[in-house]
């Protein structure tokens, strides 16, 4: 697998830098940091930064250092939004562990998120390129606006169009930006940067659709959260939006959602989503975006990094956790 | 008053830019923004940016624009920390109005703060100078660490040394940085930037000591919050720390603080603080820092901006709200 050989060694450097930055000697920060480092995600965003950074000329030591710093800062932004989202969603679990706000409290979660944002911007700024700071600030801005819209839609079913807008703000733009940041940190031709950005955008949308789908399909033990959590939290994703449009099933789904306790009828809902083809529809939509991402890959300069991006695209569609 | 003639016209431009950036057409953001704009503070930090920006050569239109943007971004950082601090402190009131988290809820408060941070960094980055982004990120970082320490000290009396460290992180460094940012945005000689930074540092410490003092002295109608709120929130400031060191009064104060409801004995506490000279001690300490700030002023290039900084120093000590 090209992916692992090209990403793993650098990802280890990202992890070391994360530890170095977060384990500061302050007991409270260290507790939260240890927790965040253990409750680790897939490091998808730094992986994109690292791969997108391999399309320029050979990486000098200085450029590699800059790439590692930018990839680390991107993961910090991601961690910060997760910690703050847990307050927003009143989440109890995150990645199979108690959420920061459950483990500690809202105060610590607010502070830990702000701390991560600040550290991230110090790293972005130390990369020595204003264009990097600029798109990093833009991505935080866009995600906030997206979260605000999601919050306004809370407990309401949005249109499919609004769903796509929401996941673009939440994930599509962040993954697009991760790719662009890798390109900026290493200086690749503009045409390549644009292709990488579009690749990230489509990967991001597919990733989020699959995430929303896994909320209905996944084994709680591998995903680390219960099935149907989105509906229980008042967030309606693509399968629900699709099912509601179907003639007979739609009114049954509607009935459950407008009832007093939809969270207790997750099994019935899942059955209705399957019957209406809603889960298949979401999978097909994710597949379309993966196809588009692969199309971008084919136009990129060929080589190991390009093949690794193809592998990553396949993984995003096939993943079960 | 030099202060008003030199600051007011630019502060109006800061206010316009704040409105332009915050009134985005999104209902929820606008509600919070309208509220934040009305529950307005004294704009001390942008005023420092604006005054520190008047020590270079004459302001070109481009430099003035940059200065206004940096001053606006500084106020956004301040607003963001206030909104997040309200979650941390479980504050009910802020500046005489219900806190964002009371008026709206914790979710909106988290998002509004993050949104303000992101907007601020977009403005800092558009100023086109990495040194600006760098110290702006550092100030957020330092304030977070300060808040984390304050949080760890919650309900405990710190040493006076720890008190000074805490207010340096919370206010001293931010006001120092505000001055430095004004200097950086307009390009003044390094010696002047250093003096301006030291001025801001001392103004910041004095301002915070006076703030902590006003918690015991102020008329709730002008300050917009009740007397003794800090103690009620488990935050012990300089007057308490001083009083505890005094032989007879100290044990009486200790007794109240270790009792079940110190927040119901605010009047007794205030009386003890007066009797022990603790309030006077805090005022004297603030005065020392104002003296040092004035010493920096005397070394600055003379002129209206320098006189305005002197006026501001006098105001910080004399303010009653």
DSSP string for A229-288: HHHHTT---HHHHHHHHSHHHHHHHHHHHHSS-GGGGHHHHHHHHHHTTHHHHHHHHHHH
The SS3 call for residue B268 is helix
pLDDT at A135: 96
Mean pLDDT check: name the lowest of A38-42, A193-197, A228-232, A297-301.
Answer: A38-42
Long-range contacts of B223-228 (CB under 8 A, 24+ apart): B223/B96, B223/B321, B224/B93, B224/B94, B224/B95, B224/B96, B224/B97, B225/B93, B225/B94, B225/B95, B225/B96, B226/B93, B227/B266, B227/B270, B228/B263, B228/B266, B228/B269, B228/B270
Domain ranges of chain A: 2-318
Q: Tell me how far apart the alpha carbons of residues A2 and A24 are, in angstroms, rounded to a whole number.
A: 35
Residues 2-21, chain A: which have Cβ within 8 Å of B? Answer: none
Residues near A163 by beta carbon (within 8 Å), at least 6 away in sequence: A237, A238, A241
Q: Tell me how far apart the alpha carbons of residues B46 and B44 are, in angstroms, rounded to a whole number.
A: 6
pLDDT higher for A35 or B198? B198
| Residue A57: band (very low, low, confident or very high) from pLDDT cuts 50, 70, 90 | confident
The tens digit of pLDDT for each residue in A129-148 reads 999 999 999 999 999 988 88
The SS3 call for residue A219 is coil
Mean pLDDT check: name the lowest of A34-43, A57-66, A267-276.
Answer: A34-43
Mean pLDDT check: name the lowest of A6-15, A110-119, B147-156, B291-300.
Answer: B147-156
The tens digit of pLDDT for each residue in B254-312 reads 999 988 888 888 889 999 999 999 999 999 999 999 999 999 999 999 999 999 999 99
| Residue B208: band (very low, low, confident or very high) from pLDDT cuts 50, 70, 90 | very high
CB contact under 8 A, B106 and A106: yes
CB contact under 8 A, A151 and B28: yes
Q: What is the mean pLDDT of residues B157-162?
A: 88
In a 10 Å sphere around its CB, with 0-12 CB exposed, 13-18 middle and 19+ buried, how is residue B192 labelled?
middle
| Residue A235: band (very low, low, confident or very high) from pLDDT cuts 50, 70, 90 | confident
CB contact under 8 A, A114 and B113: yes
pLDDT at B154: 74
Q: Tell me how far apart the alpha carbons of residues A135 and A137 are, in angstroms, rounded to a whole number.
A: 5
pLDDT higher for B209 or A97? B209
Q: Tell me how far apart the alpha carbons of residues B180 and B195 are, in angstroms, rounded to a whole number.
A: 9
Torsion sign across C-alpha atoms A11, A17, A20, A22:
negative
CB contact under 8 A, A111 and B144: yes
Q: Are A229 and A239 spatial neighbours (Cβ–Cβ below 8 Å)?
A: no
pLDDT at B4: 81
pLDDT at A101: 61
The SS3 call for residue A93 is strand
The SS3 call for residue A97 is strand
Give the orientation angle of helix B278-299 with respect to helix B304-318, to 10 degrees.
180
Residues 197-256, chain B: which have Cβ within 8 Å of A? Answer: none
| Residue A169: band (very low, low, confident or very high) from pLDDT cuts 50, 70, 90 | very high
Q: Tell me how far apart the alpha carbons of residues B80 and B85 are, in angstroms, rounded to a whole number.
A: 8
Q: For residue A66, which of A247, A153, A187, A161 has the smallest C-alpha distance? A: A187
CB contact under 8 A, B133 and A111: no
Residues 89-108, chain B: which have Cβ within 8 Å of A? Answer: 106-108
Q: Tell me how far apart the alpha carbons of residues A85 and A90 are, in angstroms, rounded to a whole number.
A: 8
Is a pLDDT exceeding 70 seen at residue A97? no
A114 contacts in B (CB within 8 Å)?
Answer: 81, 84, 113, 117, 140, 144, 147
Judged by a CB distance cut-off of 8 A, whether residue A88 touches chain B is yes
pLDDT at A91: 58
Q: Say how far residue A10 (Cα) sits from the centre of its chain.
A: 20
Judged by a CB distance cut-off of 8 A, whether residue B135 touches chain A is no
Q: Are A151 and B31 spatial neighbours (Cβ–Cβ below 8 Å)?
A: no
Q: Tell me how far apart the alpha carbons of residues A48 and A122 are, in angstroms, rounded to a whole number.
A: 21
Q: How far is B124 from chain A (nearest CA, A)?
A: 9
Please report, for chain A, how many H helices and E strands are present, in that order: 17, 2
In a 10 Å sphere around its CB, with 0-12 CB exposed, 13-18 middle and 19+ buried, how is residue B215 labelled?
buried
CB contact under 8 A, A133 and B128: no
Q: What is the mean pLDDT of residues A25-39?
A: 76
B169's tokens: 């992180």
Average pLDDT of chain B is 89
Judged by a CB distance cut-off of 8 A, whether residue B145 touches chain A is yes
| Residue B90: band (very low, low, confident or very high) from pLDDT cuts 50, 70, 90 | low
What is the 3-state secondary structure of B39-100?
A: CCCCCHHHHHHHHHCCCCCCCCHHHHHHHHHHHHHHHHHHHHHHHHHHHHCCCCEECCEECH
Mean pLDDT check: name the lowest of A46-55, A59-68, A89-98, A254-263.
Answer: A89-98
The SS3 call for residue A94 is strand
CB contact under 8 A, B28 and A141: no
Interface test with A, best of B30, B81, B111 (most A CBs within 10 A): B111
Question: In chain A, pLDDT over 70 holds for what percent of residues?
Answer: 91
Which residues lie across from A98 on neighbouring strands? A93
Give the count of Cβ contacts less than 8 A between chain A and B.
128
Q: Are A55 and A186 spatial neighbours (Cβ–Cβ below 8 Å)?
A: yes
Q: What is the mean pLDDT of residues A170-199?
A: 96
B99's tokens: 């806190």
pLDDT at B39: 65
| Residue B103: band (very low, low, confident or very high) from pLDDT cuts 50, 70, 90 | low
Which residues lie across from B98 on neighbouring strands? B93
Q: How far is CA B225 from CA A171, B95, B214, B283, in A?
A: 41, 7, 10, 20
Q: What is the mean pLDDT of residues B315-320?
A: 86
A9's tokens: 């060694």
The SS3 call for residue B123 is helix
Give the orientation angle of helix B106-126 with respect to helix A61-88, to 10 degrees.
150
Q: How far is CA B279 from CA A57, B106, B160, B165, B210, in A?
A: 65, 35, 14, 20, 10
Q: For residue B171, which of B145, B135, B143 has the smallest C-alpha distance? A: B143
| The CATH number, out of the four listed (1.10.600.10, 2.60.40.1180, 1.10.620.20, 3.30.43.10), of the domain defined by the range B2-318 | 1.10.600.10
Q: What is the mean pLDDT of residues B218-240?
A: 77
Q: What is the mean pLDDT of residues A88-113?
A: 69
Which residues lie across from B94 on neighbouring strands? B97
Q: How far is CA B189 from CA B53, B56, B185, B192, in A?
A: 12, 8, 12, 5
Residue A225 φ/ψ, nearest 5 degrees:
-150, 165
Q: Are A289 and A203 spatial neighbours (Cβ–Cβ below 8 Å)?
A: yes
Q: For residue A4, which of A290, A306, A308, A294 has the smallest C-alpha distance? A: A308
Is a pLDDT exceeding 80 seen at residue B23? yes
Q: What is the mean pLDDT of residues A122-134?
A: 94
CB contact under 8 A, B125 and A108: no
pLDDT higher for A202 or A100? A202
Q: Tell me how far apart the alpha carbons of residues A234 and B133 are, in angstroms, rounded to a whole number.
A: 38
Q: How far is CA B95 from CA B36, B98, B103, B220, B263, in A?
A: 10, 8, 13, 10, 20
ipTM of the complex: 0.90
Kindly report the CA angle at B15 between B11 and B20, in degrees rounded to 5? 145
């Amino acid at each position: 697998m090209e992916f692992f050989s090209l990403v793993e060694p650098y990802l280890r450097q990202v992890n070391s830098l994360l530890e170095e930055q977060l384990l500061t000697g302050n007991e409270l920060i260290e507790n939260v940091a240890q927790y965040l480092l253990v409750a680790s995600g897939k490091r998808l965003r730094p992986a994109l930064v690292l791969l997108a950074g391999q399309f320029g000329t050979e990486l000098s030591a200085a450029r590699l250092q800059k790439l590692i710093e930018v990839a680390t800062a991107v993961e910090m932004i991601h961690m910060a939004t997760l910690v703050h989202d847990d307050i927003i969603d009143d989440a109890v679990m995150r990645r199979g562990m108690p959420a920061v706000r459950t483990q500690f409290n809202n105060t610590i979660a607010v502070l830990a998120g702000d701390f991560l944002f600040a550290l991230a911007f110090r790293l972005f700024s130390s990369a020595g390129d204003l264009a990097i700071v600029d798109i990093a600030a833009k991505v935080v801005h866009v995600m906030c606006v997206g979260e605000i819209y999601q919050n306004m839609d809370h407990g309401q079913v949005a249109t499919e169009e609004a769903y796509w807008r929401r996941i673009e703000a939440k994930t599509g733009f962040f993954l697009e930006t991760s790719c662009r940041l890798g390109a900026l940190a290493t200086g690749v031709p503009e045409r390549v940067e644009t292709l990488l950005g579009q690749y990230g955008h489509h990967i991001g949308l597919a990733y989020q659709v699959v995430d929303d789908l896994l909320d209905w399909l996944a084994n709680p033990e591998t995903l680390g959260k219960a099935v149907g959590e989105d509906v229980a939290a008042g967030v309606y994703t693509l399968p629900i939006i699709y099912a509601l449009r179907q003639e007979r099933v739609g009114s049954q789904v509607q009935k459950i959602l407008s009832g007093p306790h939809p969270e207790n009828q997750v099994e019935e809902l899942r059955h209705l989503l399957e019957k209406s083809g809603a889960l298949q529809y979401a999978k097909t939509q994710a597949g379309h975006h993966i196809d588009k991402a692969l199309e971008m890959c084919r136009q990129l300069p060929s080589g190991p990094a390009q093949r690794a991006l193809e592998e990553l695209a396949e993984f995003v569609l096939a993943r079960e956790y």
